[in-house]
C-alpha cells in the first residue's frame, strides 16, 4: 500500500517539486518568524521591524491553529485504529506512540502550513473512507 503522505498520485513531477519548495520555504520562514518573536521578547525591535513583527505574530497564530487541527485529526485516527486488531492495521512508517504521532504531525503542520494540513487530512480520508454511520 502506498503511503499517501509521501506521494500523491494525482501530482505531476512539477507539482511535487513546487510542493517541496513551498514546504522548505515555509519552514525557513517560520523559523525566521520564531527568531523575530524571540528577539521581540528579549529586546526591543527597531522601529522598521515593528509592523513586520505584528504580521509575523498573526501568521504564527494561524500556523499554530493549523497544527492543533492536525493534532486533533491524528489523535482521532489513532484512537479509531487502536480498536482494530493489530493484523488489520496498515503497516507504515508512522510512529507507534500516539502521543509522538500527534506531536510530530502538529509540529510538521505548524512549520509547513496548509500543505502539511492537507496531507494529513488526505491521509485521514484514505485511512478511514467510510466514517459515517448509517442512519436508522
Q: Which residues contact 85 (CB under 8 A, 6 or more apart)?
A: none
CA triple 14-20-22, angle to 5 deg: 105
Decide if pLDDT at 99 tops 90: no
Count the alpha carbons within 13 Å of 20 in the hemisphere toward its beta carbon: 10
As to burial, measured by CB atoms within 10 angstroms (0-12 exposed, 13-18 middle, 19+ buried), residue 22 is: middle
Grid cell of 7 as nine digits: 506521494
Residue 71: pLDDT band (50, 70, 90) is very high
**In the chain, what are the domain boundaries?**
20-127
Residues, the chain:
136
**pTM of the complete model:** 0.72
pLDDT reported for residue 134:
47
DSSP code of 128? Answer: -
pLDDT digits (tens, 9 = 90+) for 1-60: 445 455 555 667 788 899 999 999 999 999 999 999 999 999 999 998 998 999 999 999
Four-residue CA torsion sign, 18, 108, 101, 128: negative
Grid cell of 136 as nine digits: 436508522
pLDDT digits (tens, 9 = 90+) for 81-98: 876 555 555 555 556 788
Amino acid at each position: 500500500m502506498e503511503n499517501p503522505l509521501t506521494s500523491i498520485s494525482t501530482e505531476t513531477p512539477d507539482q511535487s517539486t513546487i510542493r517541496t519548495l513551498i514546504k522548505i520555504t515555509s519552514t525557513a520562514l517560520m523559523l525566521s518568524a520564531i527568531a523575530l518573536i524571540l528577539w521581540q521578547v528579549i529586546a526591543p525591535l527597531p522601529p522598521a521591524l515593528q509592523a513586520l513583527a505584528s504580521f509575523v505574530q498573526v501568521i504564527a497564530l494561524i500556523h499554530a491553529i493549523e497544527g492543533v487541527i492536525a493534532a486533533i485529526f491524528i489523535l482521532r485516527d489513532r484512537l479509531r485504529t487502536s480498536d482494530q486488531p493489530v493484523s488489520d492495521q496498515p503497516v507504515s512508517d508512522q510512529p507507534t506512540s500516539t502521543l509522538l504521532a500527534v506531536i510530530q504531525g502538529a509540529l510538521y503542520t505548524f512549520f509547513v502550513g496548509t500543505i502539511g494540513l492537507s496531507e494529513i487530512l488526505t491521509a485521514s480520508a484514505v485511512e478511514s473512507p467510510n466514517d459515517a454511520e448509517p442512519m436508522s
